[in-house]
Chain A
Amino acid sequence: MVWLRRAWLSILTHVGALLPLARLIWNFFHDQLTANPIQYITFQTGKSALVLLVLALACTPLNTIFELKRVVGLRKTLGLYAFLYATLHFLTFVGLDYQFDPELLKEAIFKKRYALVGFAAFLSLLPLAITSTKGWMRRLGKNWKRLHRLIYLAALLAVIHFVWLVKSDIREPLGYGAVVLLLLALRLKAIRKALVDLRERVAARRRSYNRVTFREDLQ
């Protein structure tokens, strides 16, 4: 069972990330895609993409604060699943909703500014998905990291996309926006350094506390 102890987090990530897709397929076969199935699929895939994007962005700060190195390894998986749902979302809009009709699409994308912004978010994820392999990482070297900062842009665009498409009540999209901004702020050098210092101080205190109690136990 050593493999399970090593892989459970990764397995959990895959299962969790595939759950929304499984639910869509289940609902499709049980006629539960609501009265407006295309809109339902659009909303569900879009929401899943955004949640996964936020989770991918959370990995690095989680490691900074709690020193969870294993979580960093999930970034790629989460990011690729976010891209999978973004692709399904985009294809639903273009293919199912607008039947690839160029006339309608031109009108829809350029009149619906939220669609334009969503498209931009999708386009900024595209190179990240393509260069997610080890080979590309090696080939790009230092630039790989630079390129992959595009995910910050993608997340911000995705939030704006969400804010602009709701009818009036923007509290939910703004909630996502706040989380994204927080996750980006935690990456700022000064904040990151303060967090690492804090983490180390807490760890040091715990070590000395353990030492003291251990000695008392001995007596």
Chain B
Amino acid sequence: MFPPGLWAADAYDELRKELTPLKAITGYNNFYEFSTKKEDVAPLSQAFRTSPWSVKVGGHVSKPGTFDIDDIRKRFPQEERVYRLRCVEGWSMVIPWMGFPLAALLKVVEPTPKAKYVRFETLQDWKQMPGQKSSWYSWPYVEGLRLDEAMNDLAILATGLYGNPLPPQNGAPIRLVVPWKYGFKSIKSIVKIDLVGSMPNSLWMQAAPNEYGFYANVNPAVDHPRWSQATERRIGELLRRKTLPFNGYAEQVKQLYAGMDLRRDF
């Protein structure tokens, strides 16, 4: 029913050849905390302080804690993951992230049986992030995953890009990457992670609940209310590509959604 997942050992190299140039990855960013203009994010974010930085992990866990970013890098072995990133706007990239499975961090804090969802929060600091002065969006940026989604090996916390630490415009110093979901789910510059009992209300769900859902799985068969999601433009390519179900990662994640109506739970 779905095309084979491309995140298989032999597909890794195939994807590697298609890497989006670093210049595009670091110069074309949706990071509304700085600007709603993709080209303005990089220049506006260069002074962003990413050290010292810590991530507070709490909620329904046995061992809550505050993790310093340097400790995170040392404690969790960093590996390279080459992932497709599909933006809800209809463009995509192939990005070599450095990071570690989100599950590794969650196992350390030991979620209790009450934990059903994971809620992530971005730093709120309008002095550093001028876009947060805009009252159109309800800052801080919040995103969430169901616990089983968060435990999937594909979901990573990324700290680097092309072998180097993340530049500010890409969500430094630590961000989520969930490659089978639209890009807005992959929340940047995380300061807080909570295990919670009910579905978090994300910034995009608040901004337009009928257009941006909690699941936001990449799905060519379910259109955005105002535009088609059937095709995408890979940055750097002239021809449009057909968008793949779950962004090509169906083999690894489709079991998470067995029995669900993905048209309703978009």
Indicate which residue in B28, B204, B226 contacts A164 across the interface (CB closer than 8 Å): B226
Q: Mark B44-65, 1 if CB is under 8 A from A, else 0.
A: 0000000000000000000000
Q: Identify the closest chain B residue to A111 (Cβ).
A: B228
Q: Mark A28-60, 1 if CB is under 8 A from B, else 0.
A: 000000111011000000000000000000000
A36 B91 Cβ-Cβ under 8 A:
yes
Q: How many residues on chain A are close to B (CB under 8 Å)?
A: 22
* A107: Cβ under 8 A from any B Cβ: yes
A124-177 with Cβ < 8 A to chain B: 164-165, 167-169, 171
B28 A167 Cβ-Cβ under 8 A:
no
Q: Mark B20-38, 1 if CB is under 8 A from A, else 0.
A: 0001100110000000101
Interchain CA distance A113-B91 in the complex, whole Å: 19
Interchain CA distance A35-B236 in the complex, whole Å: 7
Interchain CA distance A108-B226 in the complex, whole Å: 10
Indicate which residue in A34, A96, A104, A168 contacts B38 across the interface (CB closer than 8 Å): A34
Interchain CA distance A111-B72 in the complex, whole Å: 45
* A23: Cβ under 8 A from any B Cβ: no
Contacts of B235 in A (CB 8 A): 35-36
* A35 nearest CB across to chain B (Å): 4
Interchain CA distance A113-B134 in the complex, whole Å: 28
A167 B23 Cβ-Cβ under 8 A:
no
* A190 nearest CB across to chain B (Å): 36
Indicate which residue in A34, A99, A165 contacts B226 across the interface (CB closer than 8 Å): A165
The total of interchain contacts (Cβ-Cβ below 8 angstroms) comes to: 60
A108 B28 Cβ-Cβ under 8 A:
no
The verdict on A98 contacting B240 (CB below 8 Å), with A35-B235, A36-B28 known, is yes
B217-266 with Cβ < 8 A to chain A: 223, 226-228, 230-231, 233, 235-236, 238-240
B239 A111 Cβ-Cβ under 8 A:
no
The verdict on A34 contacting B227 (CB below 8 Å), with A39-B91, A168-B207 known, is no
A77-135 with Cβ < 8 A to chain B: 96-99, 104, 107-108, 111-114
* B9: Cβ under 8 A from any A Cβ: no
* B215 nearest CB across to chain A (Å): 18
Indicate which residue in A99, A107, A167 contacts B230 across the interface (CB closer than 8 Å): A107
Indicate which residue in A36, A99, A112, A169 contacts B136 across the interface (CB closer than 8 Å): A169
Contacts of B207 in A (CB 8 A): 168
* B241 nearest CB across to chain A (Å): 11
A114 B28 Cβ-Cβ under 8 A:
no
Q: Mark B69-106, 1 if CB is under 8 A from A, else 0.
A: 00000000000000000001101000000000000000
The 25 listed contacts between A and B (C-beta, < 8 Å) are A34-B28, A34-B38, A35-B38, A36-B28, A36-B38, A36-B91, A36-B233, A97-B240, A98-B240, A99-B239, A107-B228, A107-B230, A108-B227, A111-B228, A111-B230, A113-B226, A114-B226, A164-B226, A165-B227, A168-B136, A168-B204, A169-B36, A169-B134, A169-B137, A171-B136
Interface residues of A (CB under 8 A from B): 34-36, 38-39, 96-99, 104, 107-108, 111-114, 164-165, 167-169, 171
In the complex, the 3 A-B pairs of residues with the closest C-beta atoms, listed nearest first: A35-B28, A35-B24, A111-B228
